[in-house]
Structure 1
Amino acid sequence: MSGEDITETTAATGSGDREFDVVVFGASGFVGEITARYLADHAPIGTKIALAGRNETKLAEVRRSLPLRAHEWPLIVADSNSPASLDAMVARTRVVCTTVGPYLRYGEALVVAAANAGTDYVDLTGEVPFVRYSIDKAHETAESTGARIVHSCGFDSIPSDLSVYALYKKVTEDGAGELTDTTFVLKSMRGGVSGGTIDSMRVIAEQARDSATRRLLLNPQALSGGPGEVPRVSLSAEPSDLNLVNAKKVDPSLRGTLAPFFMSSYNTRIVRRSNALLDNAYGPDFHYAETMSVGGIPALSTLAAGVVAVGTGAFLGAMSFGPTRRLLDRVLPAPGEGPSEKARNNGYFVVETYTRTATGQRYRSRMRAQGDPGYKATAVMLAESALALAVDRNRLPSRTGVLTPAAAMGDVLVERLQDAGFTIEATELT
């Protein structure tokens, strides 16, 4: 769906009669502004959009910088520290699209407000404790009010979630059994981690000092249960998030050693929650891991993978220790900062996800997109998720509650992202 071929549409009614289809909360932030710009360029004609944040002057500046069609978008003043303002905001819209993180610090009141109001919700969180909070505090309410609370609608975790979902759909269509060992491989990317993601890591590092939070973070099924239901499983029940992996064991076509993917400890939990929400449709022997390619030459890739594994562990340790965290804060991007427009446009990512089915057949899904993964591509994924909930409501699965992208939007979101220029495909390997 390009800016040149916008088609007339009427937003489906839902959540009662609402003033807006989408409210972008945090629109004056870096990713919030990019998301608003994408909506101004690509939202179907007739979509009613508002910009929200705590500073009306900054919101007005952002609105002036957007394409002409956005200049009449209303502004809403709302603050994460003012539950009353959040209640008033969500009552006016079908969907609230929030970029205001870290969500452990700023997101709890909003997710509860959306659930209470029956308002659909999308965010960019990569924080296991926040999603667990959301499940425990908002899932049952959202089910009763008809709200879809959809976390992780950016680079965390749509490529992971939809890649496995695409495999599931293709394998089911082919009658090839169910998924078994399934591995995500980040083949290549250009772009950086956003300042918001770094800030979330800071908050999680602080929270991890608590023993109960550490147990939650280490639990591979931390997000798979319902309210108050955190399955107690051993670490060996699923692949390790920090393993070096022989690429040939993932698929015979691959070479070298695969390194741990730095967001695997979050994305894997989202994929497993999708499977749980889909009534374990991926199969009783479904196991999921995430890795990244560091080259195909055996010796060199093993060395590089080891460096990545050690570096990832060292970085997380440094983030949890005050003096080293203060040193890192001097060089890491801060919230609200990001690369130039040229750098965002030149970024990209390519992921491939491999599985072997219960019948022994091999499949691969591939997802590719242009745009810096942490910024431009993330803004596209977030905006299209919001639009899927706002204007395609009558095509969505009937599930409500605290959901994942695959469980909430499935085929509709796949189609929207493909129309936006993403490659999402699954094929059998021979």
Structure 2
Amino acid sequence: MTETQREFDIVLYGATGFAGKLTAQHLAAAGGHARIALAGRSTQKLLAVRETLGEAGQSWSLIEADATSPSTINDMAARARVIITTVGPYTKYGMPVVAACAAAGTDYADLSGETLFIRESIDLFHKQAADNGARIVHSCGFDSIPSDLTVYALYKRALADGAGDLGETNFVLRGFAGGVSGGTAASMVEFMRTSSADADARRAINDPYTLTTDRAAEPEFGHQSDTPWRRGRDIAPELDGIWTGAFAMGAPNARIVRRSNALLDWSYGRTFRYAENMSVGSSVVAPVAAALGTAVNAAVLGLGGRYFDKLPRGLVERVLPKPGTGPNEQARANGHYRVETYTTTSGGARYRATMAQQGDPGYKATSVLLGESGLALALDRDALSDLRGVLTPAAAMGDALLARFPDAGVTMETERL
């Protein structure tokens, strides 16, 4: 089936889940004349979601599909230009959808921050997807678009200025209000259980270049900490007076950014180094808060990855938010984030990229980013890169997303310092 014969531009799989409903709402508001269908295990639940979408969504088709029934997933993939999936944990439920899209030559976008799942997706389906013309794009939400696109925007700005390659580059989460989604929590649990049971998996997680296209081609900088603890001024003069600690999603985000550099033939530069940090402010207790948060993060990544599977399963589930749950509408609307990414180029120029959104990062903001990713893949074909296979947001659709951000309420600015 050729692309022009596809029945739908976008199929949203998992539309009845919490993130799926929010993504459907964004597509109804921003999708224009895109041909969209909602997919999931229950037609009745899909119908209930469609009824909440206003006039724009009432003509959307409904598709019964279940990751445990490969024939339904294969049929769904064959009917669409793009599959958006919010069904996680992706380690459990994502691979059948990746497989179907790779085989059908269908583009794909998800919210996965699960490094091992992404590595397996690359190993199993990158070549087939590339051969069949499919773009398989992981991490299209708050994890990891702000990380990936701020660095990509810095690269584009430095390139335009003739300022040289990117060197030391640091992402700093400056402002954040919101919670962790039940789906993200479930993905984290699955990630910890997998790494706890498998020493090879732990080694892969600890490798900063575990998602690269060619491990031997990557530069060796020695240890690259995923749990940095630093004064702000050690990152950039503009951050003097604040302290920064580890950002919980820094490790998976950093691996996506490094894969982007590799996919783009190391266009960011061979001396490109990247880390993620979270501001904890400038109060007298900020250094202690930064150190404590960093220590907890390191313990979770280290000891948690080794011993997590020995914890009682019921205990873990009781203390984490449940998949399919989330904050109320007012709380989602009141959330926000702002990130600043700093770089110094090989020519000595310093730049800052700032990206911000209104809306809870794990819910409202993420649904906008995922929806815009699907729309970019489906409708902005001429603005996409020529790359195919298992990609990253920046490598697949960096220019298209940057062009879409303003109308989607996403602020992105770059400046030379």
Q: Shared fold (TM-score greater than 0.5)?
A: yes
* CA distance in structure 2 between the aligned counterparts of 1:59 and 1:194, rounded to whole angstroms: 21
Query: In the alignment, which residue of structure 2 is the partner of 1:173?
Result: 160
Q: 1:385 to 1:184 in 2, by over 3 A?
A: same
Query: In the alignment, which residue of structure 1 is the partner of 2:67?
Result: 80
Tell whether 2:74 aligns with 1:90: no
What is the identity, as a one-letter code, of the residue corresponding to 1:133? Answer: E
Q: Tell me which of 291, 294, 305 is aligned to 1:309.
A: 294
Q: 1:14 to 1:387 in 2, by over 3 A?
A: farther
Query: In the alignment, which residue of structure 2 is the partner of 1:189?
Result: 176
Alignment of 1:41-80 (within 5 A): 41-44=29-32, 46-80=33-67
TM-score, scaled to structure 1: 0.92
The 4+ residue runs of structure 1 with deviation greater than 6 A are 232-235
Greater shift, 119-128 or 59-68, is seen at 59-68
Deviation at 1:411, TM superposition (A): 1.2
CA offsets, 1:119-176, max 9 Å, x none? 0000000001111111111111111111010110000000000000011111111111
Tell whether 2:19 aligns with 1:31: yes
The answer on whether the counterparts of 1:243 and 1:260 sit within 8 Å (CA) in structure 2 is: yes
Alignment of 1:243-282 (within 5 A): 243-254=228-239, 255-282=241-268
Q: Tell me which of 180, 187, 205 is aligned to 2:192.
A: 205
Deviation at 1:178, TM superposition (A): 1.1
TM-score, scaled to structure 2: 0.95
* CA distance in structure 1 between the aligned counterparts of 2:41 and 2:346, rounded to whole angstroms: 52
Greater shift, 173-182 or 255-264, is seen at 255-264
CA offsets, 1:405-425, max 9 Å, x none? 001001111111222111111
Greater shift, 61-70 or 341-350, is seen at 61-70
Q: Tell me which of 150, 155, 163 is aligned to 2:137.
A: 150
Deviation at 1:234, TM superposition (A): 10
Query: In the alignment, which residue of structure 2 is the partner of 1:223?
Result: 211
Q: Aligned residues: percent identity?
A: 50
Deviation at 1:312, TM superposition (A): 2.0
Deviation at 1:238, TM superposition (A): 5.4
The answer on whether the counterparts of 1:219 and 1:235 sit within 8 Å (CA) in structure 2 is: no
What is the identity, as a one-letter code, of the residue corresponding to 2:78? Answer: A
Greater shift, 236-245 or 198-207, is seen at 236-245
* CA distance in structure 2 between the aligned counterparts of 1:345 and 1:408, rounded to whole angstroms: 29
Q: 1:413 to 1:14 in 2, by over 3 A?
A: farther
* CA distance in structure 2 between the aligned counterparts of 1:133 and 1:407, rounded to whole angstroms: 19
The answer on whether the counterparts of 2:192 and 2:304 sit within 8 Å (CA) in structure 1 is: no
User: What secondary structure does 1:369 align onto?
Assistant: strand
Q: Tell me which of 341, 346, 355 is aligned to 2:334.
A: 346
User: What secondary structure does 1:335 align onto?
Assistant: coil
What is the identity, as a one-letter code, of the residue corresponding to 1:120? Answer: D
What is the identity, as a one-letter code, of the residue corresponding to 1:68? Answer: E
Q: 1:236 to 1:175 in 2, by over 3 A?
A: closer
Query: In the alignment, which residue of structure 1 is the partner of 2:96?
Result: 109
Consecutive unaligned residues in structure 1, runs of 5 or more: 1-12
Alignment of 1:321-400 (within 5 A): 321-323=309-311, 326-400=314-388
What is the identity, as a one-letter code, of the residue corresponding to 1:308? Answer: G
What is the identity, as a one-letter code, of the residue corresponding to 2:189? Answer: R
Q: Superposition RMSD on alpha carbons, in Å? A: 1.8
Deviation at 1:338, TM superposition (A): 0.3
User: What secondary structure does 2:63 align onto?
Assistant: strand
What is the identity, as a one-letter code, of the residue corresponding to 2:150? Answer: S
* CA distance in structure 2 between the aligned counterparts of 1:171 and 1:410, rounded to whole angstroms: 15
* CA distance in structure 1 between the aligned counterparts of 2:260 and 2:404, rounded to whole angstroms: 19
Deviation at 1:70, TM superposition (A): 0.9
CA offsets, 1:47-96, max 9 Å, x none? 10000011111111111122122122111011111111111000000000
Greater shift, 264-273 or 235-244, is seen at 235-244
Query: In the alignment, which residue of structure 2 is the partner of 1:240?
Result: 225
* CA distance in structure 2 between the aligned counterparts of 1:58 and 1:292, rounded to whole angstroms: 39
Deviation at 1:398, TM superposition (A): 1.1
Deviation at 1:314, TM superposition (A): 4.2
Tell whether 2:398 aligns with 1:410: yes
Q: 1:191 to 1:14 in 2, by over 3 A?
A: farther
The answer on whether the counterparts of 1:295 and 1:301 sit within 8 Å (CA) in structure 2 is: yes
